[in-house]
Amino acid sequence: DSGVTQTPKHLITATGQRVTLRCSPRSGDLSVYWYQQSLDQGLQFLIQYYNGEERAKGNILERFSAQQFPDLHSELNLSSLELGDSALYFCASSLGQVHNSPLHFGNGTRLTVT
């Protein structure tokens, strides 16, 4: 058990809708990272927050946004959903803010857009 909790485990929704994915980091970790995993693109880094502040941005679409709250949990908001957004979304956490700190991954949220 990594200590990172993601909810929900599965999400099925229709095109054009909006969803929110939630992540609680491992106790004591200050950084939260969001990744998208799909068969064709592999694992893609979306965004990182450190202690409530955005730290780095990757291949995150403008339709997607995220935030980290004072209690350090994070939410990833996906809007105007398209079929191609169907993927596994992972949250990871680490103690530090640099990417060579080991990451602890949650079990992911599987999003299916129909």
Partner 1 sequence: AQSVTQLDSHVSVSEGTPVLLRCNYSSSYSPSLFWYVQHPNKGLQLLLKYTSAATLVKGINGFEAEFKKSETSFHLTKPSAHMSDAAEYFCVVTQNSGYSTLTFGKGTMLLVSP
Q: Which of 45, 60, 73, 86 binds partner 1 (CB under 8 A)?
A: 45
For partner 1, the closer CB: 4 or 113 = 4
> Residue 82: helix, strand or coil by DSSP?
coil
Cβ–Cβ under 8 Å, residues 111 and 19: yes
Is 21 an interacting residue with respect to partner 1 (CB under 8 A)? no
Cβ atoms of residues 11 and 112 within 8 Å: yes
Out of 28, 42, 70, 71, point to the residue binding partner 1 (CB under 8 A): 42
Q: Is 64 in the site for partner 1 (CB under 8 A)?
A: no
Distance between CA atoms of residues 11 and 65, nearest Å: 17
18 or 99: whose CB is closer to partner 1?
Answer: 99
